[in-house]
Structure 1
Amino acid sequence: MNLLQALFFPPEQPGGVSSMIPYLQERFRSSRWEMDLFWLPKRIRNKGREEIEFETFDWTVYGESPVVQKYIQTYRDYLWWTKLRMSKSYDLIHAHHPIAGLAMKKVFPDVPLIQSLHSSYERELILNGVIAEGGLEHRFLVSLYRELEQVSDRLMTVSRSFAEYMSAYTANPERIGVIPNGFDEKRFKPVPHDNGVPQLVTVTRLVPAKGLDTLFKACAELKSRGYEYVLHIIGDGPSRAELENLAQALGIYNETIFYGYTLHPEEFMPFFDIFVLPSRAEAFGSVFAEAALSCLALVGTNVGGIPEQIEDGVNGLLVKPDDEVALADALEKVISDPAYRYELSRSAWDKAKSLYSLTRVANELKKTYLQVQQEAKS
């Protein structure tokens, strides 16, 4: 079977899709399977001129919004690039972004399309203060779920929580499939180490939706309780300067290290002790699975797909979002008790190896691809 994995961002872009899709090629390399990747290069801007129409709603109702206009233009650009560069025929296309799926179905209407949704763009924009809940942009973006359902042969996502979220915007929510992201076990190698001072780490985009302001306040509380630690911030984003100022104001700047964007954080993640990310929204939270495979203790929030990975008190700790005292209490538990921290990290590693291995996910995808291809023929 000739497969196309249609991405939006280049494979080196940080995130759950890039943690999985490029590594799938090796698992599909055989006489039965052939897989290509396709994405929109960053340099392609304002090339598309095609008129855009959707089957299930009129996007022009929301067209006065600059956010919607930019989204539509990006869709035009993806269409332009696809028509320019794609000539090979495929038996099945698996898209991992709404724009990628919509463009592929328009260019290749007779090829079966699986559409996977990995995150909620509208929720992130709302939490980051870019758009208002219930506004033009929000209504436009949630309308896309029904459109994707209409044009896809199979609509899928990465967690039960996100499938439930999507159900409010689709006609047949019971048909939404769930396959979590998978991770190449060979990339994650736990390393025995003994840090005299507990090392906390987070890997994330620096935006309000990730709750790093709550983390900093929790760390300030830990410091006031007399605990030593070092907090490592791996990632970059528009909130970096604001977060650096907050660390200064809270008196924790000396305990906090900002690394900026790092291409392969899994190479040195095993040398830390505790992974913490108090997200305000998370469709799946791939970094938790990556941290678990690195054998770190996990501390997260009970939102989105995170509770599907973390069973509180068994393989990590969960707290409510925006609760810095509860987060400080959870961190205190794993900082003050190395034996408990080790117990949590081992349980997290066992679960991640069992449920989120790339081999297991690749086998599930192969079954799905064969099913969809057979359904399309019948």
Structure 2
Amino acid sequence: MTRVLHILDHSLPLHSGYTFRTRAILRAQQADGLEVRAVTGQRHSADGPEVETIEDMTFHRTPGAASGPAGLREWREVNALAEAVVATARVWRPDVLHAHSPALCGLAGLKAARTLGVPLVYEIRAFWEDAAVGNGATHEGSLRYRITRALENRAVAGADSVMTICRGLREDLIARGVRPDKIGVMPNGVDLGLFGTPLPRDAALAGELALGDGPVIGFIGSFYDYEGLDDLIAAMPQLIAEQPGARLLLVGGGPMEQALRVQAEASPAAFAIHFAGRVPHHEVERYYSLCSVMAYPRKRSRLTDLVTPLKPLEAMAQGRIVAASDVGGHRELIRDGVTGALFPADDPPACARALAALLSQAEAWPRIRAAARAHVAEHHDWARNVRRYRDVYEGLLAPAADAGARTAAR
């Protein structure tokens, strides 16, 4: 049985899109007959033992915390994580190392793979230099941006195989000179076993939030600038003019929360905009039950054009109608008029028109829901897609197996 040791920035019990994708991968690989474990780096901030079992998955932690000036601190992180991977591998004996972005994990995986003499798969979920721009931590072309990009390129060059979560990232790597046959795609996905019959509308929660009986436009997630929630708020007066009973429900929090609240309070549609704050993960389905349409108005940028988000897929799997801006990451997931609606990015009036059109065509919702769920089942179900990993691993392990067989035959 093939053993795979995953190398991660952080993991459960922390909750993030990163940890949920990891959980889905590990669970699907276990169901596919692989043995899996994971090692997290020093940025995993949850307290816990050095070896932790969560939901039947085993995580090894890298002890300590890196210190020092920028650059030296990150290199110490890489070395500490590489040492933790090697220590775990010497006991558990994995056949393959599978590192997941950021590049620090890829570089740690590369050091460990060379020490252990096992192949390395490096998986890119986003280019972290672009994510830092999207989060407002730096700007494109800065020294930090260029260093992060160079480290990414180094990890990609050293890995035996590279996986990306979407075509946009793959095409960008090819443009950098990476061989196309070295790069596979493992799309963002969902565990359809987690999504049964959607909950009926939670009338008590709707009353508590004063949403009324009209349609609700929802967003559940992190409030980053690139999510475009300011455009969604700016679209509300026009939407209310066409659909007076419509309401906007924003669930979550993040760097833009205060600015968004100020914007909403100054809006002519302030009465129709509701902030629910952050909610416990086990309560999220109740909030989804209130939403007629889930809106994802991402702004256009390198990050949003190259990377496919997870939230629209989860909404489609739960039978929710999805409306999203037409950035590249959304176009990979949604067919306009078939599995959801797309509208021009960075354009609040266009967003309002698309939402109003969806709300006026409720008779089409069953068809859209069915098409969206079928699309997710065919293209984004982890139980099906996880077999792509097995093909990659077997391709990397085959030369070593053939060499062993030839040696044994002598």
| 2:78 is the counterpart of 1:78 | no
Amino acid at match of 1:308: E
Pair 218,49 (structure 1): closer, same or farther in 2 beyond 3 Å: closer
Number of residues of Structure 1 aligned to a counterpart in Structure 2 = 363
Is the aligned partner of 1:135 residue 2:142? yes
Q: Is the 8 A contact 2:188 2:309 kept in 1?
A: no
Q: Deviations over 1:328-375 (max 9, x none)?
A: 111111112211233222211111111111211222222222222224
Select the structure with the greater relative contact order (CA < 8 A; seq sep ≥ 6). Answer: 1
The AA in structure 2 aligned to 1:89 is R
* Whole-angstrom CA distance in 1 between matches of 2:338 and 2:309: 18
Provide, for residues 69-106 of structure 1, a one-character-per-residue CA deviation record: whole Å limited to 9, x for no partner.
66445435534654676643211111121222211221
Following superposition, the deviation at residue 25 of structure 1 comes to 3.7
Measure, in 2, the Cα distance between the counterparts of 1:31 and 1:293: 22
Counterpart pick for 1:147 among 129, 133, 154: 154
CA distance, structure 2, for counterparts of residue 349 and residue 34 of structure 1: 30
1:17, 1:181 within 8 Å by CA — same for their partners in 2?
A: no
Q: Does the 8 A contact of 2:11 with 2:22 survive in 1?
A: no
Normalising to structure 2: TM-score of the pair? 0.79
Match of 1:178 among 161, 185, 197: 185
**Residue-by-residue CA offset, 1:33-56 (whole Å, 9 max, x unaligned):** 211122132167974479xxxxxx
Identity %: 21
Aligned to 2:226: 209
In structure 2, do the counterparts of structure 1 residues 189 and 34 end up closer, same or farther at CA, with 3 Å as the change threshold? same
Match of 2:130 in 1: 123
Structure 1 position 302, deviation (Å): 1.9
**Aligned pair 1:267/2:285, yes or no?**
yes
Amino acid at match of 1:154: S
Shift of 1:135: 1.6
Whether the 8 Å contact between 1:207 and 1:238 is mirrored in structure 2 is: yes
Q: Alignment partner of 1:95: what SS?
A: strand
- CA–CA distance in structure 1, aligned partners of residues 229 and 21 of structure 2: 25
Conserved? CA contact 1:233–1:257, under 8 Å: yes
- 1:90 has 2:94 as partner: yes
Bigger Rg, structure 1 or 2: 2
1:289 positional shift? 0.7
What's the C-alpha RMSD, in Å, of the aligned pairs? 2.8
Deviations 1:173-212 (A, max 9, x none): 4532111022111211242747941122222221111111
Q: Deviation at 1:310?
A: 0.4
Partner residue, 1:53: none
Structure 2 runs not aligned, ≥5 long: 47-61, 204-212, 403-410
Match of 1:106 in 2: 111
- How far is 1:169 from its partner? 3.0
* Residue range with higher mean Cα deviation, 238-247 or 219-228: 219-228
Per-residue CA shift, 1:269-314, capped at 9, x if unaligned? 2452211111124311111110000011111122232111101111
- Please report how far the alpha carbon of residue 251 of structure 1 lies from its aligned counterpart in structure 2 after TM superposition: 3.9
Residue of 306, 310, 324 corresponding to 2:330: 306
Equivalence map 1:1-378=2 (5 Å): 1-29=2-30, 33-40=34-41, 41-42=44-45, 47-48=65-66, 71-72=74-75, 74-79=77-82, 81-82=84-85, 87=90, 88-97=92-101, 98-109=103-114, 110-191=117-198, 193=200, 196-254=213-271, 255-260=273-278, 262-264=280-282, 267-268=285-286, 269-280=288-299, 281-282=303-304, 283-375=307-399, 377=401
For the Cα contact (< 8 Å) 1:16–1:286, is it kept in 2? yes
Secondary structure of the equivalent of 1:108?
helix
Question: Which TM-score applies when normalising by structure 1?
Answer: 0.86
8 Å CA contact retained: 1:162, 1:305: no
